[in-house]
Structure 1
Amino acid sequence: MGQQQQQKGEEEAEGRSLLPTSTAGAGATSSSPATAGRRRLRTAALVGAWYASNIGVLLLNKYLLSVYGFRFPVFLTACHMSACAVFSYVFSISSSSSRTPAAMVSRGQAARVALLGAVFCGSVVAGNVSLRHIPVSFNQAVGATTPFFTAVVAYAVAKRREAKATYAALVPVVAGVVIATGGEPSFHLFGFVMCVGATAGRALKTVLQGILLSSEEEKLNSMDLLRYMAPVAVVLLVPATLVMEPNAVGAAVALAQEDPSFLWMLLFNSSLAYLVNLTNFLVTKHTSPLTLQVLGNAKGAVAVVVSILIFRNPVTVVGMLGYGVTIAGVVLYGEAKKRSK
C-alpha cells in the first residue's frame, strides 16, 4: 500500500506482536554484542525484504500491464486488494492478540476508514494506470515528489504550515521533476497525469489519516488500517472493474488457459502487495524516522536502476539529472523538517 508510514509511536505500540522479542540467555544482557548483532541482522533482513517486495511488485505491475499485454489496471488493483484483505484476515485470526475487528472499530471510525480506503484505492489505481504508459524510472521520479504534495495538501486541508526553510527545500523537488520531464524520451501525457494523481492521492491519504484517526482511543497502526481498508477497496474495485474493464475477467481466464504461468505471476504479484505493507510496517518499527527516509530514497534509486536494466527503456543524462535534483530536494526537505521540530 505502495505507501506512507504512520506515527512511529503507533507502530511501536502495536508492532511488538508481529515479531517475537529476543530474550537474553543466562548471563546475557540486552546490550551484549551478540544481541546487538542479531538485531542488526534482523533489521538488515527486513530492509532487504522491504526493498525486494516494493521493487518486485512495481516491476511485475509494469511487466503485466505494459510488456505482457494484460492492460487492466483496475482489475489488477482489485487482485492486490483482495490478497491484502485475505492475508490481513488470516494474520489477524492467527495472531496472539485477543482483539477483534468488531470490538475495535466504532461506526464513526468505520466511516472514516471507508473514506481513507476510497482515497487509497483511487491512488493505487492511478499509479497502476500510469505504469501502462510511462517507464518505471519516470514513475519513480514523479513519485519522489510526495513531500511536495503532502505539504500542499496539509496546508489546504488542515491549514498546517511548515517553516520557510521546509518550503524552500521543496523547490528542487519540483524543479527536478520538471527537468526529468523535459528529458524523458518516453514521456506520455496521460501516464504522467495519472502518476501525478497517484502521488497526490498518497499525500491526501497521509494527511487525512492523521486527521481522521488522531483520537487516542481510535488509533490504528498501518497493518490494522490495511485490514479494514482492503475490504473497502475490494467493494469499490469489483463494480469499477465490471463497468470500466468488462473484459478483464475473461481476458485473465483466457491468458491463464493459454499460459499457466500468467496465473502464478498474478497470484505472486498480488501476494507481494501485502508483503509490501507488512515489511514497510516492520522496517518502520525497527528503524528511526531519519533512517527510514534515507532507506526510502535509496529504494527509489535502486528501483530506477533495476527497471532500466530489465526493461531497457531509454534514458537521458537530463532525465537522470532531474531525478537526482528531486532526490536531493527530498533529502533537504527531511533535514528541514527535522530541524523545525
Structure 2
Amino acid sequence: MLGVASLRPAAGIGACRRSAAASRPARLPVRPQQRLDGTGLQLRSQPAPCSRRPLGLGLSRSSEQPGLARATPQQGAAVVAAAAEEPKEEGGTGRTLTLGLLFGLWYLFNIQFNIYNKQVLKAFPYPITITALQFAIGSLLASAMWLLGLHKKPEGNVVENAATLSPLAAVHTLGNMLTNISLGAVAVSFTHTIKALEPMFSVLLSALFLGEKPTLPVVAALVPIIGGVVLASTSELSFTWKGFLSAMGSNLTFQSRNVLSKKFMTKGKGSMDSINTFSVITIVSFLLLTPVALLTEGLVFTPEAMAAMGIAEPLLVMKRAFLAGICFHAYQQVSYMILQRVSPVTHSIGNSVKRVVVIASSILVFRNPVTQQNLIGTAIALAGVFAYSQVKRIKPKTKAA
C-alpha cells in the first residue's frame, strides 16, 4: 500500500521560505511536471529545498521530513501495471461480443444455406453443377475481398500456393459435392444426422495416417454416436442408399482434409493465414470441378435449359442458387474466422451445437415427417458428439499428468 503523506503545515515554514528567497538573487524557474504515461502520477521538481508539494495519487515528497511517503520507481511501475489492466478488461468484453456475433452469423448463414440449397436441389437435381456454382461465387467474393483491400493478399507465387493447396482443394471439392448429392437425395435433417459420424472418421484416419492412438474415453464417446446414427437411419422415412452413402463419403473426405492439413500445411508462411488458405482452396476447387460438371451434367444452369426441363420459375431457382452460394461461402469464411480465435475443441463444440440448430430448423421449415425413433436416435448421436468434444478437451490435461 502506498502511504498518504500528511499535509499539516510545519512550524517556521514562513521563515524558511523568506530566508531561501533572500539567499537567491532571482527565483529559479520550476521545471515542467513529468507524467508517467497511462497513469495520473505527476512528479514535480522542488523550487526550494524546504518546500513540500503534493504528488498525484495522494503522494508527497520532502527532503526535510524522512517520515513522509516517497514515490519510488517500483511503486510507479506498479501503478502503470495496474492501469494497464483496464484496457485488457475492455478488450476481453469486446472479444466476447465479437465471438458471439461470429457464432450467430455462422449459424444463420448455415441455416440459410441449407434451406436455399435444398429448395434448389429439389427443383434442379444437378448437384455437381450447383457445387461448381457455389465455388464460383466464393471465388468472386474472395477476389473482391483482396481487390477492395478488406484482407491482405496472399504473398508468394500464385501458382506455387495453388499447387501446395491442391491436395486439400481436391478433398474439399469432393466433400462438398457429396454433401450436395446427399442433400438432394434425402432430408436435410437426415444428412446432418449422418454427418454427426465425423468424429469416428477423424479417429480412424488419425490412427491410420498420423499414428495417434485413441484413448479409452474417446472410443467410449464414439459408441453413442454410432448407435444413435444407426437408430435414426433405420427409422428415416426419406432414407435412400444414395443419400446415405454420399453423406458417409463426405464425412470421409472432410476428415481426410483435416488429416492432410496437418501433413501438408505450413503455418506462419507469409500472409497465408486461414482466411487466405480457404479462399485459395475455393478458387482451386472451382477450377477443378467446373470441367467435371460440364462433362457430366452439361450446360444446364440457364433459363432456357431449366424451362425445357419443365421448371416453372427458372429465375426464382437461379436467385435461390446464388443466395445459397453466398451463404455457402459466408458460413465457411466465418467458420475459419472463429477457428482463428478459439481452440479446435471449442470450434468442434460450436459445430455440434450448429448441427442441432440446422436439424431443428430444417424440420420446422420443410415439415419433414419424423418418427419418435428417429428423433431419439438423432438426439443420442448429437449427445455423443458433444461428449466426444468434452473428452478431447480434457485429453491434454491427462497427458500432462
- Which TM-score band applies after superposition, normalised by the shorter structure? 0.7 to 0.9
**CA distance in structure 2 between the aligned counterparts of 1:187 and 1:231, rounded to whole angstroms:** 33
Query: Deviation at 1:332?
Result: 1.8
The residue that corresponds to 2:102 in the other structure is 46
**CA distance in structure 2 between the aligned counterparts of 1:208 and 1:300, rounded to whole angstroms:** 24
Which protein has the larger Cα radius of gyration, Structure 1 or Structure 2?
2
Query: Deviation at 1:196?
Result: 0.5
Q: How does 1:13-28 map to 2 (within 5 A)?
A: none
Q: In the alignment, is the contact (CA less than 8 A) between 1:105 and 1:218 conserved in 2?
A: no
Residue number among 198, 208, 212 corresponding to 1:146 in the alignment: 198
Corresponding residue SS for 1:185:
coil
Query: Deviation at 1:231?
Result: 2.0
Query: Deviation at 1:112?
Result: 3.4
Q: In the alignment, is the contact (CA less than 8 A) between 1:181 and 1:319 conserved in 2?
A: yes
**CA distance in structure 2 between the aligned counterparts of 1:105 and 1:235, rounded to whole angstroms:** 14
The residue that corresponds to 2:321 in the other structure is 266
The residue that corresponds to 1:170 in the other structure is 222
**CA distance in structure 1 between the aligned counterparts of 2:95 and 2:149, rounded to whole angstroms:** 22
Residue number among 80, 90, 95 corresponding to 2:134 in the alignment: 80
| 2:212 maps to 1:157 | no
Query: Deviation at 1:286?
Result: 4.0
The residue that corresponds to 1:301 in the other structure is 356
5+ residue gaps, structure 2, are 1-82, 397-401
Q: In the alignment, is the contact (CA less than 8 A) between 1:145 and 1:174 conserved in 2?
A: yes
**CA distance in structure 2 between the aligned counterparts of 1:252 and 1:199, rounded to whole angstroms:** 36
Query: Deviation at 1:302?
Result: 1.1
Letter in 1 for 2:86: T
Corresponding residue SS for 1:160:
coil
Q: How does 1:2-17 map to 2 (within 5 A)?
A: none
Letter in 2 for 1:241: A
**CA distance in structure 2 between the aligned counterparts of 1:261 and 1:55, rounded to whole angstroms:** 19
Q: Please give the TM-score of this superposition, normalised by the length of structure 1.
A: 0.83
Corresponding residue SS for 1:248:
coil
After superposition, give the CA deviation of every residue in 1:195-244 in whole Å (9 maximum; x if it has no partner).
11011111111111111114554794332112221222112211111111
Residue number among 179, 182, 197 corresponding to 1:130 in the alignment: 182
**CA distance in structure 2 between the aligned counterparts of 1:54 and 1:116, rounded to whole angstroms:** 22
Letter in 2 for 1:88: A
Corresponding residue SS for 2:87:
coil
The residue that corresponds to 1:187 in the other structure is 239
| 2:374 maps to 1:322 | no
Q: How does 1:65-104 map to 2 (within 5 A)?
A: 65-66=121-122, 69-95=123-149, 99-101=153-155, 103=156
**CA distance in structure 2 between the aligned counterparts of 1:280 and 1:329, rounded to whole angstroms:** 22
Letter in 2 for 1:86: L
The residue that corresponds to 1:334 in the other structure is 389
**CA distance in structure 2 between the aligned counterparts of 1:160 and 1:106, rounded to whole angstroms:** 33
Letter in 1 for 2:335: N
Residue number among 220, 232, 242 corresponding to 2:294 in the alignment: 242
Alpha carbons of 1:286 and 1:77: their partners in 2 closer, same or farther (altered >3 Å)? Answer: same
**CA distance in structure 2 between the aligned counterparts of 1:252 and 1:141, rounded to whole angstroms:** 36
| 2:309 maps to 1:229 | no
Query: Deviation at 1:110?
Result: 3.5
Over the aligned positions, Cα root-mean-square deviation in angstroms equals: 2.6
Q: In the alignment, is the contact (CA less than 8 A) between 1:73 and 1:129 conserved in 2?
A: yes
Q: Please give the TM-score of this superposition, normalised by the length of structure 2.
A: 0.71
Corresponding residue SS for 1:298:
helix
Corresponding residue SS for 1:71:
coil
Q: Which has the larger helix fraction?
A: 1
**CA distance in structure 1 between the aligned counterparts of 2:150 and 2:239, rounded to whole angstroms:** 49
Alpha carbons of 1:190 and 1:259: their partners in 2 closer, same or farther (altered >3 Å)? Answer: closer
The residue that corresponds to 1:20 in the other structure is none
Query: Deviation at 1:104?
Result: 6.0
Q: How does 1:101-120 map to 2 (within 5 A)?
A: 101=155, 103=156, 107=160, 110-120=162-172
5+ residue gaps, structure 1, are 1-25
**CA distance in structure 1 between the aligned counterparts of 2:299 and 2:147, rounded to whole angstroms:** 35
Q: In the alignment, is the contact (CA less than 8 A) between 2:117 and 2:321 conserved in 1?
A: no
Query: Deviation at 1:89?
Result: 1.6
The residue that corresponds to 2:260 in the other structure is 208
Percent of paired sites with the same residue: 24
Q: In the alignment, is the contact (CA less than 8 A) between 1:223 and 1:277 conserved in 2?
A: no
Q: In the alignment, is the contact (CA less than 8 A) between 1:65 and 1:131 conserved in 2?
A: yes
Letter in 1 for 2:167: L
Letter in 2 for 1:169: A
After superposition, give the CA deviation of every residue in 1:31-69 in whole Å (9 maximum; x if it has no partner).
456x55544433222211110101111121111102xx1
Q: In the alignment, is the contact (CA less than 8 A) between 1:143 and 1:199 conserved in 2?
A: yes
- Higher normalized contact order (CA 8 Å, seq sep 6+, divided by chain length): 1
**CA distance in structure 2 between the aligned counterparts of 1:89 and 1:284, rounded to whole angstroms:** 22
After superposition, give the CA deviation of every residue in 1:260-296 in whole Å (9 maximum; x if it has no partner).
3333222211111111122112333344544433322
Query: Deviation at 1:145?
Result: 1.1
Q: In the alignment, is the contact (CA less than 8 A) between 1:133 and 1:190 conserved in 2?
A: yes
Q: In the alignment, is the contact (CA less than 8 A) between 2:116 and 2:323 conserved in 1?
A: no
Letter in 2 for 1:48: G
Q: In the alignment, is the contact (CA less than 8 A) between 1:130 and 1:194 conserved in 2?
A: yes
The residue that corresponds to 1:61 in the other structure is 117
